Amino acid sequence: MPRVAVTNPTFSLLPYMKQELLSRYPDAKFNTELEIPQMTEDWLAEFLKGYEVAVIGVEKYPESLIARLPDLKVLACCSVGVDHIDPAVMKKYQVRLGWIAGVNKDSVAELAISLMINLLRKVGTFNLGLRAGQWPKSRLGLQLRGRTVGIHGCGNVGKEVVKLLQPFGVTVLACDRVDYPDFYRQYGVTRVSPDELWERSEVLTIHLPKNSSTIGMYSADVLDCLKPGVFLLNTARGQIVDEAALKERLEDGRIAAAAFDVYSKEPPTTPLLAELLKLPNFFGTPHIGGSAREAWEAMLRAGIQGVTENAVPEPGVYPFD
């Protein structure tokens, strides 16, 4: 039986999941530090010393750390994204990765739908006004029903968003480098190019992975290609959208409103992000897309499964492409 050390602090928040892991690996050691920033490289090197498997969250494992852990054979990942993992380092040291795609897809998709309605009906803005003792002269908003909704990235989460949109009678456009003809046919989705997606979408929701091809994709030039008055959502990853360019276009109305769950820096403490969060037509949440209890359970079970189901990752091959 492998020696297992659990760095992911979420197991300590859900004791029944901790017991589930202990039922398989009774000698497992658990991290009880709830703040990820406390898990420095030195702390991780000491905590994982002598252990063959690390059940991890979203902390980074650079070569300088992996090189200090000669006994480490597996990183069993409890996260959905793997942008904190360097596949070249893993391959060099023959460390295997246990990972399952899309385990929090329901949670993220539900949040995306709620944010769409929130923006269209100005729920956040009106709530802040009420708290300040204001009763708006106009309470006018828009329905989701009947709009054209664009989905950039129709993988695990994007597909769930499509399914949840079905009762709303919307026109759904999808842009993805992979074609899903059977799925698109079943749910009445129109596959479009990026240019057509940006031109036609009244509501545009981003569900792309974070990699070399998507970082900075939504530049100022791309934001200027969006349909005037678009409602833009990002529940995927930070750094995909140029936040400075977004702020300018929210201020002048080229983009009607935006809702983001992810940021280039988390927590969003930079001056730019602080200003963005204060805009009346920007609604921010603190990276809660996968924070439903059911999603946490699914991610932790994925980590447990990754102890035995894993492979050495290949740079340039999904999910590192």
Rounded distance between C-alpha atoms, residue 21 and residue 304, angstroms: 6
Selection from 105, 134, 107, 139 nearest residue 120 by Cα:
139
Cβ burial of 230 (10 Å; 0-12, 13-18, 19+) is buried
* Helix axes of 156-165 and 105-121: crossing angle, nearest 10 degrees: 50
Rounded distance between C-alpha atoms, residue 174 and residue 29, angstroms: 44
Question: Which residues are identified as catalytic?
Answer: 237, 266, 287
| CA quadruple 247, 251, 254, 259: dihedral sign | positive
Long-range contacts of the stretch 168-171 (C-beta < 8 A, 24+): 168/144, 169/145, 170/144, 170/145, 170/146, 171/147
**Which token pair is 132?**
């300040």
Q: How many CB atoms lie within 10 A of CB 63?
A: 13
176: alpha, beta or left? (left if phi > 0; alpha if psi -120 to 50): beta
Q: Cα–Cα distances in Å, from 192 out to 59, 172, 195, 200? A: 36, 10, 8, 10
Rounded distance between C-alpha atoms, residue 80 and residue 55, angstroms: 13
One-letter amino acid of 89: V
